[in-house]
Chains A and B, each alone.
Chain A
Amino acid sequence: MNSKLNKYYFGYIFVAPFFISFAVFGLVPILYTLYLSFTNWDAFNDPAYTGFGNYTRLLHDIAFYQSIGNTLIIWIFSIVPQLIIAITLAIILNEKFIRGKHFFRAIYYFPNIITPVTLGVLFSLIFDWQTGSINKLLTTIGLVEDPINWFNNPWWSRLIVAAVICWQNFGFNMIVFIAGLQSIPDEVYEASQVDGANGWQKTWYVTIPLLRPVFIFTLITSVIGGLQLFDSPYMIGNGPNNTTRTMIMYLYETAFKNFNFGYGAAIAYGVFVIVMCFTAVTVWLTRRREQ
């Protein structure tokens, strides 16, 4: 039986397009970037081999470390409220007695379909210190006397960038959580009710633990996505003293503004290592808790 099955290679044929396209459009650029990271290349002349020069520079590059710090701060400020809002809304909108829940699900998901560039521009206009509507509102209601120069303050700048990302993504995570909630069997809730659990206890002791796989999924995707932040913060700007410049923004500026593709490639690999480490830590932590 086995030997007969082994004669057929249809499976390889059917999966071949993916592997070939991945090799052409994924693997080749990845390997080419690796090659470039060992060169000094301004795109106008041929790449010149520099060995580990770019990586040595990267290890001593304060601006790169600053961009890592900025990315992590923005990511934490966006991911924590994002998950709290998403799970809270998912639990509320999963209740049978809530009317118009489909409407609210669509409304909360809506920011996710707006391009990050648009959101970046929108928030930079809203928070403009001279003409932005937030300052107009605050001064009109008398909460502040003079307009706040939001983008001249590192922490306000980072918080605004984090708010953009939070606002854009909480709807998506909410949908994922709702899908997770709907996969929890009713019998579990019925059993907990028989045991005398109230609504709060059902959420805390049944819903949250059974949603752990969904949490892990959202956490890992958020780590990967969050550490590659680019478009929204790019539209908002680098912040005072580059305090909102993320790792990918730094890569973009190095490669595509300063035309230093060799060092840009080294930054790309640096970012890859950092994302890999954080993802591994996240997986390790979640597995450890499961054990």
Chain B
Amino acid sequence: MKTTTVWRTSIAILLIAAMLVGCGGKDKQSTASQPARNASGELEGNLVVWTFFDQVEDMAAQFMKENPKVKVEVKTFPGDDYQTKLLTALQSGQNVPDVFDLERSYIGKFIDSKYLSDLSAMGAEDLVANYVPYVQALGRASDNTIRAVSDHSSPGGFWYIRENAQKYLGTDDPDQISDMVNSWDKIIALGQKVEQQSQGQVHLISNSGDLFDIEAYNTEPWVKDGKLNIDPKWEQYYTIQQQINDNNVDAKLSFMSAGWGNALNDGSVVLTTMPAWASFMIDNDNGAAKGKYGVARTPEGYYNGGTYRGIYRESPNQELAYEFIKYIAGEKWQQHNLEATGNMPGNAKVYEKNLNTFTSEITGDQKVMKVYYDVVKDLPALQPDKYSEEILSTWRKVAKEGITNHTDYAAVLANFTKQVQNAFPEIQAP
């Protein structure tokens, strides 16, 4: 071979190699399970946890404090792309986490997949034995085994500025207010009164859509035996929403919109439907909101969101990962989390222990956990499925448009059915 040919070939190989060097990744993880404890019985090893929110850092820090020989690496991927990134990693088996977070809105898509370990087989039934029923049910696959566990519940209530409630409702007592708004009929009547009294400047609730959020998980699942299942309650709720909208009971501000946040802080809405975890929306700079708010019960049990944690089935650190899940399902972590962030526990024992003592800065002396415990106990324990959240979001949008445009229920239902069938042709129309 001529020298020039060798030289040319070498350069070509070098160029190609240089370019492809970045394409490589770590080899697939070894699937041989590693023991979690060393000879002296201490937990030892490394864990990788994937999440979309930064509070997991504290969770890892607390776990490492308990187990100094364990290193937990938390990788946070904020934003909507987290689930796609996670799915891609799980499919490829490259750089896969040992433990990963799943949000309520898409846990149903993952729960029956081959990527989640069967936690029931590892003993998780005991971990969730004292759990709030709806929280533990959301971590179950269709075969009823536990695949994911949450460390919290996400109950919501009617938040109100005490001064505002005194002015428009005549009281700031949470129990009295809860009684005043324990049915939608009472809410409509009260809302009309507030609207008249304030000459249209103040509204009782933020949005007629709050009703969707409250009733979303008090209805039957959207898909049953492969058929679209429309709970008859939705027609009743649609009519009530129409009345709320037409009578200006609501300020027509969508949940988490800028106007919604302003109303929560400036009092142009008396009662704001809000989950416990959303208290960061309240402006509490320099303690401005100290003792300013109260929380009342909604007409039916209500929750919004939730984060669940599962173990990757091929992870070599199954035992250690399970210890991590065990820790976050336990009372110690959930008590710490409650005190540090105000996130409500998933474990009912932690609720019960704190019912008469827990207070938060914003809600002052009120024993808010009593409200939330009543709320979460009410909620039906429904298992997630891969369709319901997307279908619920389609319903919410179609019904919202129908209410704004005064469309009759039959037309809204026809449009909704058409959209669901278009997105999921495998689901049979009712």
A interface residue numbers (CB < 8 A to B)? 9-10, 13, 16-17, 20-21, 24, 43-45, 57, 61-63, 125, 128, 130-131, 149, 152, 238, 240-242, 253-254, 256-259
A10, A17, A43, A257: the one within 8 Å of B390 (CB): A257
Question: In the complex, A17→B84 CA distance in Å?
Answer: 29
How far is it, in angstroms, between the C-alpha of A116 and the C-alpha of B397 when the chains are bound?
24
CA of A71 to CA of B178, assembled, Å: 48
Minimal beta-carbon separation of B70 from chain A (angstroms): 30
Asked if B425 lies at the interface with its beta carbon under 8 angstroms from chain A, I say yes
Which residues of A are found within 8 Å of B30, using beta-carbon distances? none
Can you name 13 extra interface pairs (CB under 8 A) apart from A17-B19, A149-B404, A258-B424?
A9-B8, A10-B8, A16-B15, A24-B23, A61-B422, A125-B258, A130-B251, A130-B252, A130-B253, A131-B257, A240-B401, A241-B415, A257-B390
What is the bound-complex CA distance between A130 and B261, given in angstroms?
13
Chain B residues near A16 (CB-CB < 8 A): 12, 15-16
Cβ A152 vs Cβ B12 within 8 A: no
- Give the nearest-CB partner of A257 in chain B: B390
Known: A43-B87, A241-B401. A131 touches B262 (CB 8 A): yes
Closest to B12 in A: A13
Give min CB distance, A24 to chain B, whole Å: 7
A-B pairs with CB below 8 Å: how many? 65
Q: Which residue of A lies closest to B81 (CB)?
A: A256
A152 to B245, CA, bound (A): 15
When distances are taken between beta carbons in the complex, the residues of chain A under 8 Å from B424 are 258
CB of B233 closer than 8 Å to a CB of A: no
User: Across the interface, do B404 and A43 meet the contact criterion of CB distance under 8 Å?
Assistant: no
A238 touches B397 (CB 8 A): yes
| The 4 A-B residue pairs with the shortest CB-CB distance in the complex, in nearest-first order | A131-B259, A44-B113, A63-B422, A130-B259
The residues of B that contact A10 with a CB separation of less than 8 Å are 8
In the complex, what residues of B have CB within 8 A of residue A259's CB? 87, 109, 386
Contacts of A258 in B (CB 8 A): 390, 423-424
Cα distance, A13 to B16, chains bound together (Å): 9
Q: Which one of A130, A254, A256 has the greatest number of beta carbons of chain B within 10 Å? A: A130
A13: which of B8, B386, B422 is its contact (CB, 8 Å)?
A: B8
- The verdict on B405 contacting chain A, using a C-beta distance below 8 Å, is yes
Closest chain A residue to B8 by CB distance? A9
User: In the complex, A149→B34 CA distance in Å?
Assistant: 60
Determine the chain A residues whose CB is within 8 A of the CB of B15 once the complex forms: 13, 16-17
Chain B residues with Cβ below 8 Å from A24 are 20, 23
CA distance A16 to B15 in the complex (A): 8
Q: Number of B residues whose C-beta is below 8 Å from A?
A: 36
A19 to B: closest C-beta gap in Å: 10
Does B114 make an interface contact (CB < 8 A)? yes
Chain B residues near A149: list those with CB within 8 A. 404
Contact across chains for B19 and A152 when beta carbons are under 8 A apart: no
Any A CB within 8 A of the CB of B11: yes
**CB<8 Å pairs between A and B, sample of 18:** A10-B8, A13-B15, A17-B15, A17-B16, A17-B19, A24-B20, A44-B109, A44-B110, A44-B114, A57-B425, A63-B419, A128-B258, A152-B401, A238-B397, A240-B401, A240-B405, A241-B401, A258-B424
Complex CA–CA separation, A62 to B139 (angstroms): 36
B423–A152 CB distance below 8 A: no
Give the chain B neighbours of A241 by CB distance below 8 A: 401, 415
- Cβ distance B208 to chain A, nearest Cβ, rounded Å: 13
Chain A residues within 8 Å of B19, by CB: 17, 20-21
Report how far A184 CA is from B110 CA in the complex, Å: 61
* B105-124 contacts to A (CB < 8 Å): 109-110, 112-115
- CB-CB under 8 A from B419, the residues of chain A are 63, 242
A59 to B330, CA, bound (A): 54
With a CB–CB cut-off of 8 A, which chain A residues contact B113? Answer: 44
What is the bound-complex CA distance between A62 and B257, given in angstroms?
A: 31
Contact B11 A13 (CB under 8 A): yes
Interchain CA distance A240-B403 in the complex, whole Å = 12
Is B199 interfacial (CB-CB < 8 Å)? no
User: B144 on the interface (CB 8 Å rule)?
Assistant: no
**CB neighbors of A among B16-33 (8 A):** 16, 19-20, 23
Q: Considering only CB atoms, which chain A residue lies closest to B423 in the complex?
A: A258
Determine the residue in chain A with the shortest Cβ distance to B207.
Answer: A130
Bound Cα distance from A130 to B257, whole angstroms: 10
0/1 interface trace, chain B 77-119, chain A, CB 8 Å (1 if under) = 0000000100100010000000000000000011011110000
Interchain CA distance A44-B19 in the complex, whole Å: 31
Check if A152 sits within 8 Å of B405, measured CB to CB: yes
- Interface positions of B from 365 to 423, Cβ below 8 Å from A: 386, 390, 397, 401, 404-405, 415, 419, 422-423
Q: In the complex, A149 Cα to B404 Cα: how many Å?
A: 10
CB distance from B288 to the nearest CB of A (A): 21
Residue of B nearest to A64 (CB): B422
CA distance A43 to B92 in the complex (A): 11
A131 to B415, CA, bound (A): 29
Q: How many Å from the CB of A248 to the closest CB on chain B?
A: 15
Would B258 and A43 count as touching, CB distance under 8 A? Answer: no
**What residue of chain B has the Cβ atom nearest to residue A9's Cβ?**
B8
Q: What is the bound-complex CA distance between A9 and B4, given in angstroms?
A: 11
Note all chain A residues with C-beta closer than 8 A to B8.
9-10, 13
The distance from the CB of A266 to the nearest CB of chain B, in whole angstroms, is 13
Q: Give Cα A125–Cα B419 distance, bound, in whole angstroms.
A: 27
Query: How does the 8 Å CB contact mask read for B208-227 relative to A, with 1 for contact and 0 for none?
Result: 00000000000000000000
How far is B247's CA from A216's CA once the two chains are assembled, in angstroms?
55
Minimum CB–CB distance from B199 to chain A (whole Å) comes to 16
Q: How far is the CB of B24 from chain A (nearest CB, A)?
A: 12
How many angstroms between the C-alpha atoms of A241 and B402 in the bound complex? 10
Cα(A259)–Cα(B88), bound, Å: 12
Neighbouring A residues of B259 by C-beta, 8 Å: 128, 130-131
A240–B415 CA distance with the chains assembled, in angstroms? 12
Enumerate B186-220 residues with CB–CB distance to A below 8 Å: none
Set of chain A residues within 8 Å of B251, measured between Cβ atoms: 130
List chain A residues, Cβ under 8 A from B114: 44-45
Report the minimum CB–CB distance from B118 to chain A (whole Å): 16
- CB within 8 Å of A: which of B239-270? 251-253, 257-259, 262
Instruction: Tell me which residues across on chain B come within 8 A of A63, comparing CB atoms.
Output: 419, 422
Q: How far is the CA of A256 from the CA of B87 in the complex (A)?
A: 10
A242 to B120, CA, bound (A): 42
> Which chain B residue has the least Cβ–Cβ distance from A62?
B422
> Within the assembled complex, what's the spacing in Å between the Cα atoms of A21 and B18?
11
